[in-house]
Amino acid sequence: MSDAVWAGLAGVLLLVAAACTRPEPAVPAEGALAAFSGLEGRIDIGGGTAHIPVMQEAARRIMTAYPRIAITIEGGGSGVGVKKVSEGLVHIGNTGRPLKNSEQEAAGLQSFAFAVDGVALCVHPDNPVASLTTAQARAIWGGSMTNWREVGGPDLAIQLYNRDEASGTREVFWEKLLAKGPIADRANVLASNGAMKVAVAHDRGALGYISIGHIDPTLKPVSLDAVEPTQENAVSGAYPVVRHLFMNTRGKPGPLVQAFINYIYSAEGAQIIQSAGYIPAPAPGGGPR
């Protein structure tokens, strides 16, 4: 074997050795992150899009402190989360709704509620309509009201924006606000909270709905029966279109996945959840965060 080949192989071996011996952080992690000490491996997370801001920030902090831990996050909606975790394609499948009994039993799924979220109607910021009644919302979504002037707005056609059937946000909206009533066929279908935000922000006639945690100045939330869609009103019960956000695993989580779940339930995890616009749910067993 030539010297050049030997040199090339030596270089490859050095790269492999370096990858396998990446050091732990020079300064040991403190607080809740210390629980990851000595752990390494990969966590794949997929499903509900409302969860993504929380998952991404938690993953960033963990991977910064522990380079030997890799965490991947993708969306797709609650239905995708259930499907992928059931098939073993991800370690955590996120849903914006409780698991159905059939889903839970088929794959032995375990569910962890970690945040409370509301689902708000939203319009373009220039739309003067600030509140709708439940009856008006149902009439609009059912297709019998089609112009904003019918509810005190401008003479402008109402453009409906709906979520796809894999969405936990859609399921909560349909069940709790529309009482499982009809949705007009003309509604545009979107795949995520992010897509909803972009669509409504660019359409003066838009009416959509979005997780309260995703509301920002690019769109305008609409009160329902004169109750503002805030997380505080959602938790108190004053605002009715409310759901929990769940992490779901197939069977008992392994040590690394369990450490991630525990981190989400920690005081630091609660701060991440609040920063994303949600209300932290109690830890399992009602223990302190």
Over residues 106-129, the pLDDT tens digits come to: 899 999 999 999 999 999 999 999
- Is the separation of the CB atoms in 118 and 223 below 8 Å? no
19-33, 150-164, 193-207, 221-235 — which is least confidently predicted?
19-33
245-269 pLDDT, tens digit per residue, is: 999 999 999 999 999 999 999 999 9
Q: What was the pLDDT predicted at 202?
A: 97
Query: H-type helices in 29-151, by residue range?
Result: 52-65, 78-86, 101-107, 134-142
Question: Can you point out the beta strands (E) in the chain?
Answer: 41-47, 69-76, 92-95, 109-123, 131-132, 159-163, 188-190, 206-211, 220-224, 242-250, 279-280
CA dist., res. 210 & res. 221, Å (int): 9
- Is the separation of the CB atoms in 207 and 199 below 8 Å? no
CA dist., res. 55 & res. 81, Å (int): 14
63-78 pLDDT, tens digit per residue, is: 999 999 999 999 999 9
> What is the CB neighbour count within 10 angstroms for residue 171?
22
Mean pLDDT throughout 181-191? Answer: 95
| Alpha-carbon distances of 193 from 58, 154, 196, 211, rounded to whole Å | 20, 26, 5, 7
> What is the CB neighbour count within 10 angstroms for residue 139?
17
Spatial CA neighbour of 75 closest among 60, 57, 93:
93
With a cut of 70, say whether residue 22 has pLDDT above it. Answer: no
The torsion angles phi and psi of 110, rounded to 5 degrees, stand at -115, 145
What domains does the chain contain, in order, with CATH numbers? 32-115+244-286 (3.40.190.10), 118-242 (3.40.190.10)
> What is the CB neighbour count within 10 angstroms for residue 29?
17
23-45 pLDDT, tens digit per residue, is: 444 445 678 999 999 999 999 99
What is the pTM assigned to this prediction?
Answer: 0.74
